[in-house]
Amino acid sequence: MKVVIIGAGNVATHLVHALKKINVEITQIWSFNYQNAQVLAKSVNATAINSLKEIDNKAQIAFIAIKDDSIETIAKEIPAFKGLVLHTSGSVSVNVFLGLLENYGVFYPLQTFSKNKALNFKTIPICIEANNDQNLNTLKTFANLLSNHVVEIVSQERKILHLTAVFACNFTNHLYAISQQILEKNNLKFDILRPLIAETAAKVQNTLPLNVQTGPAIRNDKETIKKQEILLQNEPEVLEIYKILSSHIKKIKE
């Protein structure tokens, strides 16, 4: 099997290495930035291409792992490609390809990717969708080689998943970042919070978060909440976040 990769960012990089691991041949890599394509291609003995006109029409799959608003533009540049074209976005409908390509679908890995942190692809949930049953079957077989957690998810559901990923990952990291800033302002190290962060995430691996909520807000511990609001009195925006989240936690209990 031959695969072409369009993109050289975090998702493309992790995907390329996962494909290499299962001995899939990556023939070409294209990126908006040719040098990035070269670097990534070199690491897996693929060819970096400068123009999508050079795309290998004999490849069975082309992954488009680039920013959301460029997916359609890229699809328009490869009309002759008859293999399966897959984008990797959480929030873009499969219909972005409608009328532009023959065989297409979505391969959305529900995970956060950093360039310098290795990941076990086998444990990543892969949300798949395709424009017909035959392509869906091909995609399913292929995705199952990469991950033990492949699920068929239609575009509307995938948008919901992506939304919840923003809460559970991006916003969560931002709460960590707020903690980091508060600690640094008080000459304390973020280090001390790491075991707590790890355990908070570990806890919901076997339970549901609604069942394990702890803290002043769920106990309706007004005294502690008042004291903590005073600590934040010079940080009006962080105070607002504190208030709105505390109030929402209380409501969930009611």
Which 58-97 positions form the footprint of a second copy (CB under 8 A)? Answer: 67-69, 91
C-alpha distances (whole Å) from 16 to each of 39, 106, 115 are: 12, 16, 12
Stretch 150-179 residues interacting with a second copy (CB under 8 A): 151, 157, 159-179
Single out the residue of 51, 80, 202, 234 in contact with a second copy (rule: CB under 8 A). Answer: 202
Backbone angle region of 187, left / alpha / beta, with phi > 0 → left and psi within -120 to 50 → alpha: left
Instruction: Report the residue number, 2 or 149, with the smaller CB distance to a second copy.
Output: 149
Minimum distance of a second copy from residue 120's CB (angstroms): 9
Instruction: Report the residue number, 80 or 208, with the smaller CB distance to a second copy.
Output: 208
Minimum distance of a second copy from residue 38's CB (angstroms): 24
Q: Which stretch binds a second copy (CB under 8 A): 18-26, 51-59, 95-103, 202-210?
A: 202-210
Helix (H) or strand (E) holding 63, with range, is strand 61-64
Whose CA is closest to 8, among 52, 60, 48? 48
Q: Which stretch binds a second copy (CB under 8 A): 26-34, 53-61, 78-86, 242-250?
A: 242-250
Q: Give the CA angle between residues 67, 69, 71 to the nearest 5°.
A: 75
Q: Give the CA angle between residues 3, 131, 20 to the nearest 5°.
A: 20
Report the C-alpha gap between 96 and 87 in whole angstroms.
10
Minimum distance of a second copy from residue 64's CB (angstroms): 16
Single out the residue of 53, 99, 251, 254 in contact with a second copy (rule: CB under 8 A). Answer: 251
Handedness of CA 174, 176, 177, 181 (dihedral sign): positive
Q: Does 219 bind a second copy (CB under 8 A)?
A: yes
Instruction: Report the residue number, 79 or 176, with the smaller CB distance to a second copy.
Output: 176
Q: At 75, which amino acid appears?
A: A
Task: Look at the chain and count its residues.
Answer: 254
For the chain, the distance separating the N- and C-terminal CA atoms, rounded to the nearest angstrom, is: 55
Stretch 98-157 residues interacting with a second copy (CB under 8 A): 110-112, 114, 117, 119, 123-125, 127, 149, 151, 157
Single out the residue of 32, 72, 140, 216 in contact with a second copy (rule: CB under 8 A). Answer: 216
Stretch 12-31 residues interacting with a second copy (CB under 8 A): none
